[in-house]
Amino acid sequence: MFSKILIANRGEIALRVIRSCREMGIATVAVYSDSDIKALHKIEADEAVYIGLSEPSQSYLNIDKIIDAAKQTGSQAVHPGYGFLSENADFADRCKREELVFIGPPANVIRNLGDKITARQIMQESGVPVIPGMSEEAADPDTWIQNADQIGYPVLIKASAGGGGKGMRVVHSSDGLVESCWAASREAEAAFGSGVIFMEKYLEKSRHVEIQILADSQGNAIHLLERECSIQRRHQKIIEETPSPALNPELRNAMGKAAVQAAKASGYVNAGTVEFILDTDNQFYFLEVNTRLQVEHPITEMITGVDLVREQLHVAANLPLTLNQQDIEGRGHSIECRIYAEDPENEFFPSPGKIIFLKEPSGPGIRNDCGVYSGFEVPVEYDPILSKLVVHASTREQAIQKMIQALKSYAVLGVKTSIPFLIDVLSHHAFSEGDTYTDFIDTYFQGWKQETKGLEIAAIVYAAHAMIPKKNTLESDVTQLTPWQTLGNWKAY
């Protein structure tokens, strides 16, 4: 097993990796940019290396700087977290050349599965069901029109090289198809460095259900049940749960087998996620493979008791899986809410700024993977996720109520957050009934506005805070970190 690893990421996911490493006796190295000089992941790691300006290309996306940091600290492996370089095949290749273990799948697997057209071809050849769509790239309007006519409207235009909703367009008729294709291609080029697009049949009433997989380099592969991720804004997940209210044991077993089949067909190693679209007839179709740890991995950990980061490290050390399929059993129900610094009333526009006050929820069955604190400045350069709030309970109904109460006790002042919106979503009758399709927000929450009562209370609290003498404010206490906070991981003897 490794004695030291570098975490090529920031925020709550870096802290998540640090915690598992600490339990395993593995030293950690954090990297940080100008915006993260006072970030928790820098403070909590055993060592920290400055890698540059806040602009991601100058720091967290700079392969040379991250490799140099790993080499100078004597790190043996690199954990990429999610986002940034986590699905960058060139980075995985570079780690191998520099004799650093990349904690993830091999570069060729990342490359093949990161290209959605190639991934579709692999799945088709292995018998995994795929949505009707293009099987090879095309860059001319005539081919786009021809393919759309063959697939049948509506069609979904997607970037071949990326995800996260970028480069995606839904087209309901031939009017505007070519224009939408060009727009998607330009957006994909800007986001991923590749303007290649493809299209597939758009299922208007569908669920987004994914299967967590683990595979080792000895050819063993298992799945760790499903996660339902249908509650999305701008094609990005905001609420996830497991088990899915739509799956019965037979369907769960079939999707799990298909995910393992996909892993073996692609030569997958380490933790990953096979994503499917599930239609109203309970037919499922391959969507893509995320070749990394997912944001929503904690809910799988909550119901299975498996530490996925620990398993990642185990597999990366070239050890066989310690689990088999019979060991995996789900217990209870778990829900995750992504807490973003964003404004749901303004199309979820990011809300960077200083967190004046933060109070996290706590209690039995409540987990909050948080990367910020009172006084922290939420930077504009990065994804505005603050934390992942997770609950676990015996039943789905209990989990929903526990999450609502946890959200209501979650206080964040200074920036706008998605918390009030999440409370309303979880309180909606359609969510309670399990009517969770990918069009949920568009159907029930178009033009959502927060109740003024909550805003008035927040204004009163903010005004009361502003009236307190400066020397006694929480803000002044946390703007300057104490020596104890800057020591990082320390022990008293």
Q: Quick count: other Cβ atoms within 10 Å of Cβ 463?
A: 9
412 closest CA partner among 478, 356, 369: 356
- Residue 292 appears among annotated catalytic residues: yes
- Domain of residue 51 covers 4-103
| CATH number of domain containing 190 | 3.30.1490.20
Distance CA(71)–CA(253), nearest Å, equals 44
> CB–CB of 274/258 below 8 Å?
yes
Q: Do 328 and 344 sit in the same domain of this protein?
A: yes
Helices (H), 25-115: 40-44, 63-72, 89-97, 107-114
Strand 349-350 to strand 342-343: parallel, antiparallel, or no bridges (unpaired)?
antiparallel
Q: Would you say residue 70 lies in a domain?
A: yes
Selecting among 292, 338, 367, 396, the annotated active-site residue is 292
**Could you tell me what percent of the chain has a pLDDT over 70?**
91
pLDDT digit string, tens, across residues 449-459: 998 765 556 55
**Mean pLDDT over each residue of the chain, to the nearest integer:** 92
* Burial (CB count <10 Å: 0-12, 13-18, 19+), residue 150: exposed
Mean pLDDT along residues 285-292: 95
> CB–CB of 29/69 below 8 Å?
yes
Q: Would you say residue 292 lies in a domain?
A: yes
Amino acid at 93: D
Please tell me the total count of domains within the chain: 3
> CB–CB of 223/192 below 8 Å?
no
| CATH number of domain containing 438 | 3.30.470.20
Question: What H or E segment, with its residue span, contains residue 484?
Answer: helix 483-486
Selection from 142-146, 217-221, 483-487 with the highest mean pLDDT = 217-221
> pLDDT band for position 284 (50/70/90)?
very high
DSSP SS3 for 390: strand
**pLDDT score, position 116:** 85
Q: Do 249 and 178 sit in the same domain of this protein?
A: no
Which one of 85, 103, 121 terminates a domain? 103
> pLDDT band for position 473 (50/70/90)?
very low
Tell me the sheet residues that pair with 289.
Answer: 274
Distance CA(32)–CA(34), nearest Å, equals 7
pLDDT digit string, tens, across residues 320-337: 999 999 999 999 999 999
Mean pLDDT along residues 155-169: 82
Which one of 66, 82, 103 terminates a domain? 103
pLDDT of residue 462 exceeding 80? no
> pLDDT band for position 10 (50/70/90)?
very high
Q: Do 51 and 14 sit in the same domain of this protein?
A: yes
* Burial (CB count <10 Å: 0-12, 13-18, 19+), residue 207: buried
